[in-house]
Chains A and B, each alone.
Chain A
Amino acid sequence: LAKTTQPISMDSYEGQEVNITCSHNNIATNDYITWYQQFPSQGPRFIIQGYKTKVTNEVASLFIPADRKSSTLSLPRVSLSDTAVYYCLVGGGMDSNYQLIWGAGTKLIIKP
């Protein structure tokens, strides 16, 4: 099963673009890359999912290089309300027996 490595914490300021990079060197061919956001005392919330290249939705972009050994979640123009823990998950494919492994996440703190 693919394990992920993310920074433990990051700081940024309101209005900035924030990029959180996740390493997943042993990603399987048919694994997906998924990011979740979690606020204190709440369950995680799906942000974005991708397989390769770039995916964009209304809240974030996900950049995946050709070798798929890493990925970067990009949050444009963050606000104080983006302060949360962000989890990078890899898996869900047949070779991983459809399992997803959650890491410790990145605690993002946005300052005014």
Chain B
Amino acid sequence: EAGVAQSPRYKIIEKRQSVAFWCNPISGHATLYWYQQILGQGPKLLIQFQNNGVVDDSQLPKDRFSAERLKGVDSTLKIQPAKLEDSAVYLCASSRVPSGAYNEQFFGPGTRLTVL
């Protein structure tokens, strides 16, 4: 089966600009996650969707970050305006079930964002 697809793979922008990332999860996976991974750190969950509803967005900086999951499939994460500290890898993952046992998350390759 096809894996989680993300685009773009790399993005360089200047601070205060906007940027958007796209994710296509594995077919049939109802749960989709966006993570931020700063160099040398573990992934930090930004938002979790179950179908097209938000399960957890407690760590999403809502003043500048937004995410949507249209029709419960593809998802877009947007940053507007970007700050220097947003430089990180943005990972998208999907899973068949949202929690508990058998919650194996499948990750995409990530988008490396550099904010200058």
Chain A interface residues toward B at CB < 8 A: 30, 32, 34, 36, 41-46, 49, 51, 87, 92-94, 97-100, 102-105
Identity of the chain A residue whose Cβ is nearest the Cβ of B98 in the assembled complex: A98
Q: Do B43 and A102 have beta carbons less than 8 Å apart?
A: yes
Q: Do B42 and A102 have beta carbons less than 8 Å apart?
A: yes
Q: Do B45 and A98 have beta carbons less than 8 Å apart?
A: no
A-B contact pairs, 20 of them (CB 8 A): A36-B105, A42-B110, A43-B4, A44-B105, A46-B104, A46-B106, A49-B104, A93-B99, A93-B100, A94-B100, A97-B56, A98-B55, A98-B56, A98-B100, A99-B56, A102-B43, A102-B45, A104-B40, A104-B41, A104-B42
In the assembled complex, B27 has its CB within 8 A of some CB on chain A: no
In the complex, the number of residue pairs spanning A and B with C-beta atoms less than 8 Å apart equals: 59
Q: In the bound complex, what is the Cα–Cα distance between A42 and B107 (angstroms)?
A: 8
Provided the pairs A32-B100, A98-B99, A98-B100 are in contact, do residues A43 and B40 lie with their beta carbons within 8 angstroms?
no
Q: Do B105 and A46 have beta carbons less than 8 Å apart?
A: yes
Residue-wise, chain B 96-115 has the 8 Å CB interface mask toward A (1 for contact) of 00111111111111100000
Q: Do B99 and A92 have beta carbons less than 8 Å apart?
A: yes
In the assembled complex, B93 has its CB within 8 A of some CB on chain A: yes
Contacts of B44 in A (CB 8 A): 102
In angstroms, how far is the closest chain A Cβ from the Cβ of B57? 12
Q: In the bound complex, what is the Cα–Cα distance between A49 and B107 (angstroms)?
A: 16
In angstroms, how far is the closest chain B Cβ from the Cβ of A8? 10
In the assembled complex, B91 has its CB within 8 A of some CB on chain A: yes
